[in-house]
Amino acid sequence: MNEIVITLGQHGLSFFEVLMGALALVGLLLIWLLVSFSRQNHVREQELFDAQQQARAQQAQVEELSRLQAEMTGRMQTMSEIFSSRQSEMAQALTNRMDGMGHRLTQTVTKSLTDQQKATGENLRALHERLAVIDKAQGNITELSGRVVELQQILANKQTRGTFGQGRMEAIIEDALPPQSYDFQFTLSNKNRPDCVIHIPNDNAVLVIDAKFPLEGWTAVKEAANPDEDKAARTRFRNDVKKHIKDISERYFIPGETQDTAFMFVPSESLFADLHEQFDDVVQISHRARVVIVSPSLLTLSIQVIQSILKDARMREQAHIIQREVTLLVEDVMRLDDRVSKLQNHFTQTQKDVDQILTSTGKIVKRGRKIEEIDVSEAELAAIAKELEETANAKQDEGIAEIDKALSAPLAASSQASKAQQGPYGIAGPKPETKSLFGEE
């Protein structure tokens, strides 16, 4: 019993000690199991109590629901009796109303059918008219389709397509520029003949426009059925456009004779947009080669800029005529200012004469008042009054004559000078032999 069985570190344990330790451990385990069992029993009792309380509450609710159901059953029976009585009344009223409505409905339906038949007839007549219009439009569409096919055939041929693009280009240029500002099929010094050249004012070099844009490759791109055909068609189109740009730069760039920039005309706005969107490398090559790709709208805008340049050049050519007309106008204004000054002097002299006449009349009035104060006979007063009246009338007539002479002399001279100097440009316009701003006599 005292024999050492297990050694822990430096301390040895005998069989008895090991047995006692195991018994103590088993006792502790039993105590723990008893405590756990008691706790579980307590929890189960609490849950059982809660379940009983819940069952009592549910039973109370069931009893309350039974009571409410009994009340509801009584109320439903009462309402059923009320509804039964009301239903018979409503059935009678509804029967009466249905009879009246049936009569009115019969009349309304009869009238509606008559109106509907009339409206249907009118709609059918209108439908026939519209079908006739549609048939006519269908004929127009068929005719238009034939024309589109003809246009497609025209564009399929290189020569006729070039003629079509050149026709559009010529129409745009002819509508915007005077005939002396451009030439079609102009022959250069190297024997090449571009489709159109535009003469720039004050510059011997002409602007070249080419209208023969290659469309075969682009047609193949549109008609490609699979990615391989599309790729091959795009490669062909790209090579055709590059070759055409190279041909323009080699044929139409002559130093001193042509401008260092040329226009390549594309007769379609959609093709122009697709070219810039899908073939940017071709557009960059054209920019480096100084060949500008233009659509009908861009060509129109460029022609308007050239038209403004031509107008400015014509204005500069007429600048010396404008300057001479301005000089004559200034001389006329100076002459008019001199004559107005002379007329002002005449008016000043006239004012002085009027002031002198007023002074004389004032003196006469004063003398008349003095005479009134003198006691003389009526005969003497009449003689003196007659003499004074004759003197005043003579002076008045003399003053009026001087005023008329002073006013009429400068006005007559001004009117005569104005008639002698008056021309189509104002007071003193150009002489008959002077040319106008546009070179007409």
Per-residue pLDDT tens over the stretch 68-100: 888 888 888 888 788 778 877 887 887 888 777
Beta bridge partners of 4: 14
High-pLDDT (> 90) share of the chain, %: 0
Tell which residue, 288, 255, 262, has the closest CA to residue 209.
Answer: 262
Concatenating the DSSP letter of every residue in 3-69 gives SEEEEETTEEEEHHHHHHHHHHHHHHHHHHHHHHHHHHHHHHHHHHHHHHHHHHHHHHHHHHHHHHH
Tally the residues of the chain. 441
pLDDT given at position 427: 39
Angle subtended by helix axes 319-373 and 296-317, to nearest 10:
60
Going across the sheet that includes 291-294, the strands are 182-184, 196-199, 206-210, 258-265, 291-294
pLDDT given at position 375: 57
Determine the residue type at 200: I
Give the Å distances, CA to CA, from 54 to 40, 49, 50, 66, 195: 21, 9, 6, 18, 106
Indicate whether 153 pLDDT > 70. Answer: no
Indicate whether 381 pLDDT > 70. Answer: no
Indicate whether 386 pLDDT > 50. Answer: yes
Taking the CB of residue 264, how many other CB atoms lie within 10 A of it? Answer: 20
pLDDT given at position 384: 66
Q: Which residue has the tokens 């929890």?
A: 43
pLDDT given at position 400: 60
pLDDT given at position 341: 85
List the single range of 53-57, 59-63, 265-269, 437-441 with lowest mean pLDDT.
437-441
Per-residue pLDDT tens over the stretch 159-183: 444 565 777 888 888 887 888 888 8
Q: How far apart are the C-alpha atoms of 330 and 2, rounded to whole Å?
A: 153
Over the chain, what is the mean pLDDT? 76
pLDDT given at position 421: 47
- pTM for the predicted model, two decimal places: 0.39
Chain centre to alpha carbon of residue 114: 54
Per-residue pLDDT tens over the stretch 298-352: 888 888 888 777 777 777 766 677 777 788 888 888 888 888 888 888 888 888 8
* CB 176 within 8 Å of CB 209: no
Indicate whether 199 pLDDT > 80. Answer: yes
Q: How far apart are the C-alpha atoms of 162 and 292, rounded to whole Å?
A: 18
Indicate whether 193 pLDDT > 50. Answer: yes
417 pLDDT band, cuts 50/70/90, is: very low
* CB 200 within 8 Å of CB 206: yes
pLDDT given at position 374: 64
